[in-house]
Every structure is written in C-alpha cells, then in structure tokens.
Chain A
Amino acid sequence: MSASLFNALLELGDDHLIIGHRMSEWCGHAPLLEEDLAMPNMALDMIGASRSLYTYSGELEGKGRDEDQLAYLRLDREYKNCLLAERPNEDFAHTMLKQLYFAAFMEPYWQAALNSSDATIRGIAGKAVKEVAYHIRHAGEWVIRLGDGTEESMSRMAEAVVEMHPYVEELFTMSEDAKACAAAGQLPDRETLRNAFEQTISNIFDQALLEVPAVPFPQLGGRTGHHGEEMGHLLSQLQYVQRAYPGMSW
C-alpha cells in the first residue's frame, strides 16, 4: 500500500473535516437566516468530502480503520490539516475569507485531479469540483459586499485579510508524501495551481477594494502536525464522546 497516498489523503481529509467543523460552529448563530442555510450547506459539502477521503485512505491502509476511527481517534500531532482550516471563526468576514481562500485553491486542485491516475480520486474530484465552484461564488460575493460595504465592514474585512493571508502559502507547500503522489500522477502538483488561485483572488479582491498583502513569513506546519493552540480545543469537542465512551458504536 502506498504510504504516501494514505498520508496525502489524510492531509486532504483533515483539511475538509476541520474547515467543515469550523463552519458548522455557526449553525444557529448566523447574521441572517439565509446564511444559517448557506453555511451548513458548505459545511456539509466539506464534511462529505472528508468522509470520502477518510474512507478511501482507510481502505488503502488496510488495517480496518474506518472514516470515524481516522477522524476521531488520532492524537493532536497526527492531524495533517493546513493551519488555515483550524483558524477560529472570529467573525463573518474571517469565515467567508477563509472559505474563499480554500475554495479558490481546491477548485483548480479538483479540476486537475479529474485527470488523476487513480479512479477513486477522479470520482471524488468529479463531485467536489462542483461544490467548491459554488463556494467560490458564495464566499466571494460576501467578501465583495463586506469589502465594499460600510466603513465597519470594510475595516473588518481588511483586518481579516491581514490576519489570514499568512496562512495561504501553506496551501501550495507540498509534504514529501504530496510530492510523491504528484510524481505518480495520483494527486495534483500544488504549485501549478498558483496562477488560477491568484486570478480568482485578485478578481474578487479588486471588486472588494482589498489589497493582496505581502507576506514575509508564511505560517507553515500543519502537515507535520505542528498546530496552533486552538486545534487542541477543537479536538476536545470533536473527540469528546468517542473518548468518554471508548470503543462503542454510534
């Protein structure tokens, strides 16, 4: 079994679960009711993708671990999500910007993955690419409205960009596992997606009256399990029932 593919799929699975989990925290607290429907839709897309990714990686591993054992029972340092995903929701501007960054990256990623040498990955990509295309539109329209809205929204959106942009570079950084999978044609080479990402972001930022900031020191470390402090609290919530009632079926 390909250890590289297993690990690279966990990276993707964790990205999707953690970002979906964060988005789901808004449920019941959105700024308007229509967003209490829109955000769960995006969260369900993310969680759904994570399930396909975890299930496939568990099959590849061949040790009988299913989606839940992978999602719920690893230790803090074993999660491989990018740091962007675990960033706390902060406010609506941060949340929409985070989703825009992630979707603007994942759309060309899944497009490229439609040509994967792996049939299961092609299947996952076929579904996911449509989902993230919508996320770009929904999150993008909000970034525009908040960036070019009122004084308060403009200042919050600008602050969100300053805070979150340092986490973007990690999306293009490849672990050894990701590199091996790219070489084998199973998963896309992340570096090749930069142009498409930058085009999407600059198009939306122009309309949102936002500047893409220079980032002298990007924040990295998620792929090797070097997470921030919020991750532990997130996992405390996520894992609580499984840890308090070990070995049971839900």
Chain B
Amino acid sequence: MYSQGLIGADGKTEETAEFLAAFQARIDREEKIEPNDPMPEGYRKTLVRQIGQHAHSEIVGMLPEGNWITRAPSLRRKAALLAKVQDEGGHGLYLYSAAETLGVTREQMTEELISGKAKYSSIFNYPTPTWADMGTIGWLVDGAAIMNQIPLCRCSYGPYARAMIRVCKEESFHQRQGYELLISLCNGTPEQKEMAHDSINRWWWPSLMMFGPHDADSSHSEQSMKWKIKRFSNDELRQKFIDATIPQAEYLGLTVPDPDLKWNPEKNNGKGGYDHGEINWDEFWQVVKGHGQMNRDRIKARKKAWNDGEWVRDAALAHAEKRANRQQAHAAE
C-alpha cells in the first residue's frame, strides 16, 4: 500500500513522551490519523487487530445467512438475501483494505483467521436452523452492529472511518430487510408466528453478548477510548440497543426471553430505559473460546474456500505474468 514504504522507513519512530503527547493532542483535537502519519506502535497494533476482527466478522457472517439463499421461499426474498450477503462480503473487503493501509496484507489476515489465531464476532458461531432466523439476524444482529458502527464513522483513523461510512450506508437496508421479513411472519399464520417467536428466543441473548463483556471486565477499552478507536462503552451501547429494540419487538407482537425485563423511568438520566436480566457470561466465554455450536464449522468453511480457491488465484497470477511478458516482448519488437 502507499504506506508500506514509509512506516518504519526511518528505522523506528522513537516513542518519546513528547511524541506520545503530541499524538494524543492530535486525537484530542479530533484530527484524523492517515496511513503515512507517525503513530504509536500500540495504536497501529490495536487498529490492525480491531479492523481485522471486524473484517473477519463480515466474511464469516456471510455463512449463517448464506445457508438460506438456496431455500429462500420467494424470489423477492431470495434476491434481497443474496444482495445482503454480497454486501457483507463487500464490507469485509472495505475493511481488509483499511487494515492493509497499516502494513498487513489480506493474505496474512486470512491465514490468521483460518488458523484460528484471529478472532471474529462470536454471534456468527450460532446456527441458523430456520427461515425466521434470516429476519431475526437482520433485525437484531445487524441492528446491534449498526449501533456499534455509527460511532466508528467518527473514529480517529481515516481509512477505518471512511470504510465505516460506506458500510453504514449499506447496512440500514440490511436491518430493514430482516425486520420486514419478520413483519410478514408475525402477520402470517400461527406456524409462521411460532417460527418467529422461536427465532427471537434463540437470538436475543447472543445479540446482547455482541456488545462484549461488562465495561469493568473489558481489558482493551480504556486505551481504545483515549485513542478514539472506540467511542462508547460496551454497556452504553448495549443499553441503547435494548431501549431501541424492545418497542420494535412489541410492534411485532413478540416478547424477548427475559423475565427480568422491566421499564425503569429513572434510567438514562430520567428519560427512562429498560432494566434487564443478567447475561449468561459462561456461555459468552465458552463461545468466545471456540466452543460454540458452529465455531469449528465456520472456520472449516472459510479454510475450504481459501484452500480450494488456491489454484484459481495461482492461475490468475500465472496468466498475469505471461501477459506482462508478452507485452514486454511485443514492445521490444
């Protein structure tokens, strides 16, 4: 990338107290950091990890929904679902591009994903056994993602912020597509309503887990917030999500599987909000550590696609070399 030559070209940017303070001052002034700019190694590393994880999440996220493309029950739903999953691939691509401005290649990141070294959002380790899940994922999972992604449009690193703006523009169709699908189920037959109800019962808690551990248990958060790579805390976003989503569930005539859910007029500085039950943190950590129902299958699928595709990528490179040689030989004539 156009930054490859310059990062570390002077050997190593010396991280003196002055350098770090000057960098933090830029962040505090809401200046954007661009690829060639001198930056603390920790900033660069954190971004590579976060953007990489975000990109991997989009790619792995194609799988649970891709699972239903061939079985979508109407042509309109089929086209919408295919376009949505395609968008997710696109989001992964924009994010890999953003990460590549920091001196890492897409191939390196891919190999980290399929080796199990890199993480991705745990929500995609849950299965999609029913059609209703296509609605629920759009509504809850994309809804939670949007909540996280909108603040990222203002993150301090230019390429990441710009990629997020692009992603957010495309993402709102995703949530509407899912919610509209659920409307048609909830306005349908008792079997369809039951399918929707069963789906939300399985996806509600994992969607809340998407926002990560409680603030107190979140190790990277503080520095990330200082560097404006993260703009709101886990608990803040999770609360915002719940408060926005419950009325949407009520419209559908669905209840979420939380007996402790209760409106609290004192919350949010008197504006009111929902108190909710405690998340099953055992399940959260179990899935994060690789023991969710679909963890192995997701990596297997990505590994297979990458490995099976190697001959295709190699052929394209071989042909490009032949072409270049022919053009050179022709020019020499």
A–B: direct contact at CB < 8 Å = yes
> Which chain B residue lies CB-closest to A55?
B75
Complex Cα distance A249/B96, Å?
A: 39
Chain A contacts for B318, CB-based, 8 A: 149-150, 153
Q: Given A43-B82, A153-B312: A238 and B71 within 8 A (CB)?
A: yes
A28 touches B312 (CB 8 A): no
Q: Using a Cβ–Cβ cut-off of 8 Å, how many residues does chain A contribute to the interface with B?
A: 47
B319 touches A144 (CB 8 A): yes
Most chain A CB inside 10 Å of its own CB: which residue of B70, B315, B319: B315
Chain A contacts for B308, CB-based, 8 A: 29, 31, 91
A37 touches B82 (CB 8 A): no
B93 touches A248 (CB 8 A): no
Complex Cα distance A240/B130, Å?
A: 11
Q: Given A34-B93, A237-B70: A150 and B314 within 8 A (CB)?
A: yes
Question: Contact flags (1/0) for A64-108 with B, using CB distance below 8 Å?
Answer: 000110011000000000000000000110000000000000000
B83 touches A153 (CB 8 A): no
Chain B contacts for A241, CB-based, 8 A: 71-73, 131
Contact of A40 among B74, B85, B301 (CB under 8 A): B85
A149 touches B82 (CB 8 A): no
Distance in Å: Cβ of A100 to nearest Cβ of chain B: 15
Chain A contacts for B89, CB-based, 8 A: 27-28, 33, 36-37, 40
B311 touches A153 (CB 8 A): yes
> Which chain A residue lies CB-closest to B189?
A248
Query: Which of A44-52, A111-119, A164-172 faces chain B?
Result: A44-52
Question: Contact flags (1/0) for A13-53 with B, using CB distance below 8 Å?
Answer: 00001000100110111111110110011011001101100
A47 touches B73 (CB 8 A): no
- Judged by a CB distance under 8 angstroms, whether A226 is at the interface is no
Complex Cα distance A25/B322, Å?
A: 32
Chain B contacts for A25, CB-based, 8 A: 69-70
Complex Cα distance A41/B86, Å?
A: 8
Distance in Å: Cβ of B327 to nearest Cβ of chain A: 14
Distance in Å: Cβ of A192 to nearest Cβ of chain B: 31
Distance in Å: Cβ of A229 to nearest Cβ of chain B: 17
Chain A contacts for B78, CB-based, 8 A: 24, 47
> Which chain A residue lies CB-closest to B83?
A44
Complex Cα distance A245/B76, Å?
A: 18
Distance in Å: Cβ of A12 to nearest Cβ of chain B: 15
A249 touches B71 (CB 8 A): no
Chain A contacts for B181, CB-based, 8 A: 250
- Judged by a CB distance under 8 angstroms, whether B237 is at the interface is no
- Judged by a CB distance under 8 angstroms, whether B90 is at the interface is yes
Distance in Å: Cβ of A249 to nearest Cβ of chain B: 6
- Judged by a CB distance under 8 angstroms, whether B216 is at the interface is no
- Judged by a CB distance under 8 angstroms, whether B62 is at the interface is yes
Complex Cα distance A206/B151, Å?
A: 53
B residues 287-312 touching A (CB-CB < 8 Å)? 301, 304-305, 308-312
- Judged by a CB distance under 8 angstroms, whether B66 is at the interface is yes
Chain A contacts for B115, CB-based, 8 A: none
- Judged by a CB distance under 8 angstroms, whether B117 is at the interface is no
Question: Contact flags (1/0) for A135-153 with B, using CB distance below 8 Å?
Answer: 0000000001110111011
Q: Given A27-B62, A71-B75: A152 and B311 within 8 A (CB)?
A: yes
Contact of A31 among B59, B63, B76, B312 (CB under 8 A): B312
Complex Cα distance A51/B164, Å?
A: 33
13 pairs of residues in contact across A and B, judged by CB atoms under 8 Å = A25-B69, A27-B86, A28-B63, A28-B305, A29-B304, A29-B305, A31-B309, A68-B75, A145-B315, A146-B315, A152-B314, A153-B318, A241-B72
Q: Could you list which residues of chain A lie within 8 angstroms of chain B, going by C-beta atoms?
A: 17, 21, 24-25, 27-34, 36-37, 40-41, 43-44, 47-48, 50-51, 54, 67-68, 71-72, 91-92, 144-146, 148-150, 152-153, 156, 237-238, 240-242, 245, 248-250
Q: Could you list which residues of chain B lie within 8 angstroms of chain A, going by C-beta atoms?
A: 59, 62-63, 66, 69-79, 82-83, 85-86, 89-90, 92-93, 96, 106, 131, 181, 184, 188-189, 191-192, 301, 304-305, 308-316, 318-319, 322
Q: Shortest 10 CB-CB distances between A and B: which pairs?
A: A31-B309, A149-B315, A153-B315, A241-B73, A31-B312, A28-B66, A40-B86, A28-B62, A36-B89, A145-B319
